[in-house]
Amino acid sequence: MLQAPKNADENPLRLLDITPPSPDAREICVRVQYCGVCHTDLHIVEGELPLPKLPLVPGHQIVGVVEALGSNAHKFREGDRVGIPWLHSTDGVCRYCLSGNENLCDHARFTGYHVDGGYGETTIVAEDFAYALPHSFSGANAAPLLCAGIIGYRSFRLSNVQKGELLGLYGFGASAHIVLQFARYLGCEVYVFSRTSAHRELATSLGAAWVGGSDEKPPHQLDAAIIFAPAGQLAITALSAVRRGGTVALAGITMSPIPQFSYAAIYHEKILRSVANSTRRDALDFLELAAEVPVHTEIEVFQLEQANLALQKLKHSQIKGAAVLRVAT
């Protein structure tokens, strides 16, 4: 549990006993088995995002089993395995929800941010915001699909890249190593930019067509790029690497300032766009695609009491693939 934000290297999370929550009518209570560790968790515990509540149990890539049903919850049965992602609830009535853009909902609430998440033994979610998981994935391997995968999938769609085109991935952590796999499956050639040698090696093993440093110029112009590393300078770097009319999608929830750049860098109808959250449709479509590929998630598993260590290793780019907490088995 986080009681006050501070540097991840100072062990901001503490193990505490809290009263287990009870589900309302359309909610389910989930016994958490695994929870992925995300860069957003790091931004939360370090106070880079304004916190709507404290104390807070972080975590939004949750895999668990249904332990209890609300009085009017019928989508799942007790004992079913489910996944819970970042999007926890929406109002369902604002202009964004009504137009199919619920990721932009005026009153959206997020798991492990507005409500307690998966760095704990149980959590609550409305049944319509939980998902059955493909049987082909173990609990630990399914966890990164629920944010790294879903957000990566939305970023891929918003990058406008098409079959046969060249896609650049800047930063190669949990999300990018999933995107690389389904992008290749969908017929794209993928170039990876990373400052970390272990990440470059993983990208090569997963079939990247070219791998280089974050500031290197690729051998061919890109049709699109996705930036996963929270470094604003990379937006300008990627704009110089994409062709006329190409798109650069910013996948992170926060980023260091983008330096001033000349109009010429974005001229010729290049597009620079952010990616904000995801929809339930994104989740359903991606989970189906992940099973079809099938996606392999490279993971490093930590015990719940090692949550601080996992965040520290994530902060210092020492995770190869994705970090996952084992909460219960």
Does position 150 have pLDDT exceeding 80, yes or no? Answer: yes
Task: Tell whether 137 and 156 lie within a shared domain.
Answer: no
Look at the chain and report how many structural domains it folds into.
2
Please measure the distance between the N-terminal and C-terminal CA atoms of the chain and give it in whole angstroms.
20
**Which one, of 303, 286, 32, lies nearest residue 148 by Cα?**
286
Longest dimension (CA), the chain: 59
Q: Which neighbouring-strand residues pair with 13?
A: 2
Residue 20: its pLDDT value, please? 83
Instruction: Pick the last residue of a domain from 242, 257, 274.
Output: 274
Task: Tell whether 182 and 257 lie within a shared domain.
Answer: yes
How many residues belong to the chain? 329
Q: 267-321, pLDDT tens digit by residue? A: 999 999 999 999 999 999 999 999 999 999 999 999 999 999 999 999 999 999 9
Task: Tell whether 194 and 210 lie within a shared domain.
Answer: yes
Task: Tell whether 179 and 70 lie within a shared domain.
Answer: no
1: in domain: no
Angle at 212 between CA 208 and CA 215, to 5 degrees: 135
Helices (H), the chain: 39-45, 95-98, 139-142, 148-158, 174-185, 197-205, 233-241, 280-292, 307-315
Instruction: Pick the last residue of a domain from 250, 274, 298.
Output: 274
**The model's pTM:** 0.95
Determine the residue type at 321: G
> Under DSSP, is residue 298 helix (H, G, I), strand (E, B) or coil?
coil
2: in domain: no
Task: Tell whether 194 and 248 lie within a shared domain.
Answer: yes
166: in domain: yes
Task: Tell whether 130 and 201 lie within a shared domain.
Answer: no
> Under DSSP, is residue 152 helix (H, G, I), strand (E, B) or coil?
helix
Q: Which residue do the tokens 């149980």 mark?
A: 122
The CATH number of residue 199's host domain is 3.40.50.720
Q: 56-98, pLDDT tens digit by residue? A: 999 999 999 999 999 999 999 999 999 999 999 999 999 999 9
Determine the residue type at 264: A
- Enumerate residues 6+ apart whose C-beta is below 8 A from 215: 237
163: in domain: yes
- Whether 2 and 48 have beta carbons less than 8 Å apart is answered as no
Task: Tell whether 192 and 270 lie within a shared domain.
Answer: yes
φ/ψ (deg, to 5) at 210: -155, 145
CA distance 283 to 106: 20
Q: 156-199, pLDDT tens digit by residue? A: 999 999 999 999 999 999 999 999 999 999 999 999 999 999 99
CA distance 274 to 294: 27
Residue 21: its pLDDT value, please? 83
The CATH number of residue 137's host domain is 3.90.180.10
Task: Tell whether 101 and 184 lie within a shared domain.
Answer: no
3: in domain: no
129: in domain: yes
Structure tokens belonging to residue 34: 């695994």
- Whether 287 and 146 have beta carbons less than 8 Å apart is answered as no
Q: Domain range spanning residue 61?
A: 8-145+278-326
CA distance 262 to 178: 33
Could you tell me whether strands 87-89 and 109-110 are parallel, antiparallel, or unpaired per DSSP bridges?
Answer: antiparallel
Instruction: Pick the last residue of a domain from 258, 274, 290.
Output: 274
CA distance 110 to 123: 13
- Whether 36 and 61 have beta carbons less than 8 Å apart is answered as yes
